[in-house]
Amino acid sequence: MTGVWLILAALASALGAFCALSLAMERHFGDVLGRRADLARWQPRLRAAGVALLALSLWACIAHQGATQGWVLWLGVLTAAALAQVLALAYAWPRR
């Protein structure tokens, strides 16, 4: 059962990383939080959080599958997380 939790943790942290990294971009930050929000204050924190969450996702994959197959699993997890984010933005986010 531990393996399932590691995969879910890897997927959740990869999805959170993609969300944080996309919010670190000026256009996406302005779309979500308003054009007048202070991006300069949040951008380094969002980037650091995105990198940390990607590292956590990689660690979970390597802990589950080992050093050689963990990298391949991580690429699959990143693909699934990116697809989930794109689908969520395309279908769940209201259009303005």
What is the mean pLDDT, run by run of 10 residues, along the chain of 96 residues?
Answer: 88 96 86 77 93 97 94 96 88 64
SS in 3 state form for 7-60? HHHHHHHHHHHHHHHHHCCHHHHHHHHCCCCCHHHHHHHHHHHHHHHHHHHHHH
Alpha-carbon distance values, 81 to 1, 17, 89 (Å): 21, 9, 12
- Domain ranges for the chain: 2-91
* Tokens 């393996």 sit on residue: 3
Put simply, whether the predicted model's pTM sits higher than 0.75 gets the answer: yes
